[in-house]
Amino acid sequence: MQVCTETTLFMQKAIYYVSRFIAARGVLEMTDCRLNFQVSNLDSSFGMRSVSIDLATVDDVRIEGGDLHPRVIICSGKEYEFVLPKAQELYDQLKKQCFSSVSSGPADNESSSIICGCGHSVSERYNFCPWCGSKFLKT
């Protein structure tokens, strides 16, 4: 089981694209458990809402070039698009946190195992099955 300590790993001002034509400004914070976007006071007065994405539910992360700054697109049931100056740093952190093969939890010799959908027994320390590649959802 992956331990969540809510340690901030990344924080920067960003723009969140709610839709193709609507964007909100605010602060993007990545902890070891979730990605939080806190909408600025001005944009929240127009009804924009903050966003919180659990990192265990992230299916895909990609980075695309933009006019001024690159965009980081996070797929977690739906697509979330953020534009920020240090997009590459955020992308690298997300890849490391969400898609590393072994969780960052403490390594102990008596870690329990789980049975993957493919039938293999896999240590709980793994985020992905080494045989079929399935992602394990951590609780």
Q: Where are the domains of the chain?
A: 8-99, 101-139
pLDDT of 78: 92
pLDDT score of 123 more than 90:
no
Higher pLDDT, 54 or 125: 54
How many Å separate Cα 38 from the centre of its chain?
Answer: 15
The confidence band for 61, taking pLDDT boundaries of 50, 70 and 90, is very high
Higher pLDDT, 78 or 121: 78
Model confidence, pTM: 0.69
The answer to whether 81 and 62 are in contact (CB under 8 A) is no
pLDDT of 117: 84
What is the DSSP pairing of strand 8-17 with strand 79-83? Answer: antiparallel
Going by CATH, does the domain composed of 8-99 fall within 2.30.29.30?
A: yes
pLDDT of 25: 95
